[in-house]
Amino acid sequence: MGAREWRVYNPSGKKRVIVTKELPGERWLRVLAGAGCRIEICTSSDFLSVPDIKAAIGTRCDGAIGQLTEDWGEELFSALKRAGGRAYSNYAVGYNNVNVNAATKHGIPVGNTPGVLTEATAEMAVALTFAAARRVGESERYLRAGEFKGWLPSLFLGELLWRKTLGIVGAGRIGTAYARMMVEGHKMNLIYYDLLQKKPLEDFVSDYSAFLTSKGEPPILCKRAQTIEDLLREADCVSLHTALDNSTRHLINLERLQLMKENAILINTSRGPIIDEEALVAHCRKHSSFRVGLDVFEDEPALKPGLADLQNAVIVPHIASSTRWTRQGMGTLAATNVAAMLMGYPVWKGPSTLVFLEDNPPKAAPSIVNAKELGIPTIET
Ligand code: GLV
Ligand code: GLV
């Protein structure tokens, strides 16, 4: 790896916070400076290893903001603890790269950035859905290669999603936002698989169905799947929105892919290892009308052999939350998590973290995943 560059913001700050990548926008810097921090930012786009980060933590470090590409485990949390660290935030909503138990053991709060990336990620899931259904990547490659000889009745036949059945695996914030876009926009029936019943989502679909019938249109349906197998058999399009942990690793394996409709669409904007990617490549090779849209990969940034050659796969490089507003908002939330913990503030339990992007945000941390284990007080308003 090449030489690392670090820049310093607010050098006179008394608390030292390290940030392993440049983040978009300026507000996050003002949040930390406002809490009396000196901020050291790694300006290199090289990925930092555990020893690199350990060296950056050094002997005195009050807090850190890290990336989902980094392995925040026992080694880094014990180093951070020894350096006097009292706060860590991941610059992501997902935190499968963080060993939260190790952080808790060392008394270090772990923040994440929910809420601000919900709509952006759902919008990318929608983009991938239609790119896969309508063969956007494949037909664009054909056009750019000069192969288009004129309009033909059967050129790139794809799938219509209007009034078909959508399946979502994981009906959290992002899954629900995606379901809402697809149900409302394309009048799809919804089947969801989640450990919990999601009454607000069910009510949304039934209210929308009542609206449609009031206009003389057919109703739409919503149901909770008893098993993931039921959902996979029934849905025309399946989108994955579950967190990655040991219970969801390879949730979509070869057996389950084989339950899906031959011309189904599978979308993943959550985490790569939720799909057995080798099995997916084999399945896509065998079934040319099966289509996938992927933002995340099992061995990111590497792709499993054969994936990049599949015409029926639309692939983008983990950019679902990448809108300017979203990535700036994630910076504000991550910085506020760290600043709030260093200031001794409680953790926010209000309905939406978007208040932290407004003027006069609450004096609280937007989201600390181990707040309960660490006994950190919470506030609602
Ligand atoms: C991105 O993948 C995130 O978890 O925020
Ligand atoms: C993440 O924001 C989720 O709960 O889906």
Tokens 């790119």 appear where?
131
For residue 206, report the distance from its CA to the centre of ligand 1, in Å: 30
Best mutation site among 93, 173, 248, 369 for ligand 1, i.e. most ligand atoms within 8 A of its Cβ? Answer: 93
- pLDDT score, position 26: 95
* Rg of the chain taking only CA atoms, in angstroms: 23
For residue 215, report the distance from its CA to the centre of ligand 1, in Å: 39
Question: Which residue, by CA, sits nearest to atom 5 of ligand 1?
Answer: 92
Best mutation site among 90, 112, 118, 296 for ligand 2, i.e. most ligand atoms within 8 A of its Cβ? Answer: 118
Domains and CATH numbers, the chain: 6-116+322-379 (3.40.50.720), 118-315 (3.40.50.720)
For residue 299, report the distance from its CA to the centre of ligand 2, in Å: 22
93 lines ligand 2 (CB under 6 A): yes
Residues of the chain with pLDDT below 50 are 1-3
Return the ligand 2 atom nearest residue 118 CA: 2
Catalytic residue among 38, 134, 291, 318: 318
Residues with CB under 6 A from ligand 1: 68, 92-94, 117, 321
For residue 354, report the distance from its CA to the centre of ligand 2, in Å: 14
Rounded to 5°, the CA angle 359-365-368 comes to 145
Return the ligand 2 atom nearest residue 174 CA: 5
Helical pair 324-343 and 27-34, crossing angle rounded to 10 deg: 10
Distance CA 303, CA 309 (A): 10
Cis amide prior to 301 (ω within 30 degrees) = yes
125 lines ligand 2 (CB under 6 A): no
329 lines ligand 2 (CB under 6 A): no
- pLDDT score, position 4: 64
SS (H, E, C) the chain: CCCCCEEEECCCCCEEEEECCCCCCCHHHHHHHHCCEEEEEECCCCCCCHHHHHHHHCCCCCEEEECCCCCECHHHHHHHHHCCCCEEEECCCCCCCECHHHHHHCCCCEECCCCCCHHHHHHHHHHHHHHHHCCHHHHHHHHHCCCCCCCCCCCCCCCCCCCCEEEEECCCHHHHHHHHHHHHHHCCEEEEECCCCCHHHHHHHHHHHHHHHHCCCCCCCEEECCCHHHHHHHCCEEEECCCCCCCCCCCECHHHHHHCCCCCEEEECCCHHHECHHHHHHHHHHCCCCEEEECCCCECCECCCCHHHCCCEEECCCCCCCCHHHHHHHHHHHHHHHHHHHHCCCEECCCCHHHHHCCCCCCCECCECCHHHHCCCEECC
- pLDDT score, position 380: 83
241 lines ligand 2 (CB under 6 A): yes
Residues 69-126 have pLDDT tens digits of 999 999 999 999 999 999 999 999 999 999 999 999 999 999 999 999 999 999 999 9
Question: Which residue, by CA, sits nearest to atom 1 of ligand 1?
Answer: 92
Determine whether 271 is an active site residue. yes
Determine whether 318 is an active site residue. yes
293 lines ligand 2 (CB under 6 A): no
E-state strands within the chain: 6-9, 15-19, 37-42, 63-66, 87-90, 110-111, 165-169, 189-193, 222-224, 237-240, 265-268, 291-294, 313-315, 347-348, 378-379
Return the ligand 1 atom nearest residue 112 CA: 5
Residues 197-231 have pLDDT tens digits of 999 999 999 999 999 999 999 999 999 999 999 99
- The whole-model pTM stands at 0.94
Widest pairwise Cα distance in the chain = 69
For residue 46, report the distance from its CA to the centre of ligand 1, in Å: 19
Catalytic residue among 271, 283, 291, 327: 271
Cβ-Cβ contacts under 8 Å for 46 (sequence gap 6 or more) = 1, 2, 4
- Letter for the amino acid at 216? G
Question: Which residue, by CA, sits nearest to atom 3 of ligand 1?
Answer: 92
Of the ligands numbered here, which is closest to the C-alpha atom of 271? 1
For residue 320, report the distance from its CA to the centre of ligand 1, in Å: 8
The values of phi and psi at residue 100, to 5°, are -65, -35
Contact predicate 237/129, CB 8 Å: yes
173 lines ligand 2 (CB under 6 A): yes
Of the ligands numbered here, which is closest to the C-alpha atom of 369? 2
Distance CA 33, CA 82 (A): 23
For residue 174, report the distance from its CA to the centre of ligand 2, in Å: 5
